Amino acid sequence: MKRKLNYPNVTNVAQILLNRNYSDIEHILKNRLKTAPQFIDKIELEAELKGHSGCVNCLEWSTNGRILASASDDFHVMLWDPFTHKQILDLATPHEGNIFSVKFLPKRNDSILLTGAGDCKMYVFDINRGEFPIRKCTCHGQRIKRLATTPKLIHLFWSAAEDGRVLQHDMRTAHTCRANDANVLINLKNHINEMPEVKCIAINPHRPEQMAIGANDCYARIYDRRMLSLMKFSTVVEAKPNEHDTDNVPREGCVQYYCPGHLSRNKGTVYSIFNQKAITYLTFSPDGSELLVNMASEQIYLYDLNRPREPTFLKLPKFTDPINGTNGTTVKNGEKIKHKLAPDVEHMKKEGNANLEKEKYLQAIQQYTLAIRKAQEKDCSALYLNRATALMKRNWFGDVYAAVRDCQRALRLDPHYVKAHFRLARALLKLGQLQDASECLAELIKRFPSYAKNHGVLMLDKDIEAELEKQRQRQRERPQESDADQYSVNELAWRAAALDYEDRFVGHLNTKTDIKEANYFGDANYIVAGSDDGNFFIWERDSGMISAIYQADELIVNCVQPHPYECLLATSGIDHEVRLWSPQPFEKVPVKHRLDVVDGTVNENQNRMQSDPFDTLAPDQAMCRAS
């Protein structure tokens, strides 16, 4: 029989959990297994935590994983015991706006709570000393969207807000808002003339000097805090870019921008969150070597910080006489010998081809991806090209640029691959990179003169010239505006040097809220994120393929927070409940929330992503859309 746990009427809430005997739940803890595939497949709803009366906008695990904090539009922060599913504390905060971020200050016995909200205020609470905040900050001029902490610096924390600023807070010093305190670490308004809004912030767990922020554009920025001096609020004067003499960001070596190549080439203009690109969440990998970015009206992107990529458009490999090699062949004694794929790889390729013919592009891409992972590198050129073809036909956001990258890979493996040259030119045209497309086609004809009169080549050349003429006409009618009035010289340089992504994860929908998360699950083996369709997604980290989709909210899932040590997930969104998910014995707990139809869900999401997100907005969603 399950033992009933009592919580006596004492004030030291955190100490209750630290001192209590956990022998009665050791069995539960030991049976929560790591994220091996066989256990991921058994994830189901474990419990619903009820208590909030508004949308639950943020979740946070304590350092030791024994407490789950949730905060809501109802201005309350609630603490939960995730293993007994009991509420520990209901903290009624003084906030007068939706709470968007709640954090534990590390190594303070998990008794210090931080909150930031839509009322532009930030509070610090010691939950052992009651509901009255021990610190207050009203410096921000717009909604506070995220707070950040790091276990390596237990006295510091940071706040990011839609006023374009990041503030640094030090618990060791007193604070007087907007006075002589030097607490402005980053001010995007020094470099962007529009209305820059900082949406999210993260600290590298292994290199706390690295701070990443996401704003209402497509650039993830990583700063070296050691090179930033704190500015006083009184010295931060709003002016046009390049008019500031108080900016604290050195041009060289302090900040690195990251952006998907197809967006950086289009300059990544600042847009409204509800219909254009913005970063709603970012986080470092557990080992600090990667940055995961969830982008509104786009996909989830992963950047490799140790081996960064340059954006790839037209970069053809060196070329030799095509007689000495063709795609998928070697030359021996003057004769072409076709490579044979391993039987299982050949089967995957045929499956991909069959799905491509049936216009089942998601399945085709998955089969080609599996084949590439299984095949030897020298045999992959045709697989990369086939996947590029499927990507171009599917044409979701970012697909054409992914096809460009696959064509480049195919050509690196086989510089004599005529089809890869042709497909690359076609992809560059579709991407709007007209000059690159023209140069690529000209190089194809130069390298393979016999194709100069090929019908496909002639038609592609005609299409490119038609688009170039349209471009010239637009430029004559509407000369391109200079970015000098919109961005500082430094901002333009940083954007021009933006590095490209390593991997991406597609399928979810992120258009209706600007707090949607994406996180690593387990030992970075999986990626998890919420979605506007009320589901949360689990992707395999290495392949980028969807492992599972779960129905977790009636409307929108914003938060998906993995437990720091166990195979346990907490989710929340527009519903007022917090839900816990873990591996369950299916003989006792039936599968209720895992979706069977993955393809239909994913296709619908991607179609909706390219339409007005508020066309089908339900009334209760409209109430929460500001989040």
Strand order in the sheet with 156-161: 144-148, 156-161, 165-170, 182-187, 231-232
Reported confidence tier of residue 317, pLDDT bands at 50, 70, 90: confident
Long-range contact pairs involving 338-346 (C-beta distance under 8 Å, separation at least 24) = 339/378, 339/379, 341/371, 341/375, 341/379, 342/374, 342/375, 344/374, 345/371, 345/374, 345/375, 345/379
pLDDT digits (tens, 9 = 90+) for 1-22: 444 444 444 456 666 555 555 5
Over residues 375-387, mean pLDDT: 92
Let me know: does 627 contact 144? Beta carbons within 8 Å. no
Distance CA 306, CA 410 (A): 24
Residue 623: pLDDT over 50: no
Over residues 385-397, mean pLDDT: 97
Reported confidence tier of residue 31, pLDDT bands at 50, 70, 90: very low
Write down the mean pLDDT value for the chain: 87
Reported confidence tier of residue 276, pLDDT bands at 50, 70, 90: confident
pLDDT computed for residue 481 by the predictor: 66
pLDDT digits (tens, 9 = 90+) for 77-130: 999 999 999 999 999 999 999 999 999 998 767 899 999 999 999 999 999 888
pLDDT computed for residue 474 by the predictor: 87
Q: What are phi and psi of 3, to 5 degrees?
A: -80, 135
Residue 335: pLDDT over 60: no
Least confident of 22-36, 157-171, 391-405, 421-435: 22-36
Distance CA 402, CA 423 (A): 12
pLDDT digits (tens, 9 = 90+) for 219-258: 999 999 999 999 987 655 555 555 554 588 988 999 999 9
pLDDT digits (tens, 9 = 90+) for 422-479: 999 999 999 999 999 999 999 999 999 999 999 999 999 999 999 999 999 988 887 7
Q: How far is CA 584 from the centre of its chain?
A: 28
Both tokens assigned to 29: 């803890």
pLDDT computed for residue 254 by the predictor: 96
pLDDT computed for residue 135 by the predictor: 96
Both tokens assigned to 372: 């590439």
Residue 556: pLDDT over 60: yes
pLDDT computed for residue 423 by the predictor: 97
Q: For the chain, give the percent of residues with pLDDT over 90.
A: 70
Q: For the chain, give the percent of residues with pLDDT over 70.
A: 83
pLDDT computed for residue 262 by the predictor: 94
Distance CA 371, CA 409 (A): 15
**Which of 265, 292, 263 lies closest to 277, judged by CA?**
263
Both tokens assigned to 260: 């998907």
Reported confidence tier of residue 68, pLDDT bands at 50, 70, 90: very high
Both tokens assigned to 500: 């490209």
pLDDT computed for residue 287 by the predictor: 94
**Which of 74, 101, 52 lies closest to 514, judged by CA?**
101
pLDDT computed for residue 40 by the predictor: 83
Distance CA 428, CA 420 (A): 12
Reported confidence tier of residue 486, pLDDT bands at 50, 70, 90: confident
pLDDT computed for residue 359 by the predictor: 95
Reported confidence tier of residue 522, pLDDT bands at 50, 70, 90: confident
248/290: higher pLDDT: 290
pLDDT computed for residue 622 by the predictor: 42
Strands 231-232 and 220-224: unpaired
**Which of 115, 106, 110, 105 lies closest to 140, judged by CA?**
115
Residue 332: pLDDT over 50: no
Amino acid at 361: Y
Residue 320: pLDDT over 70: no
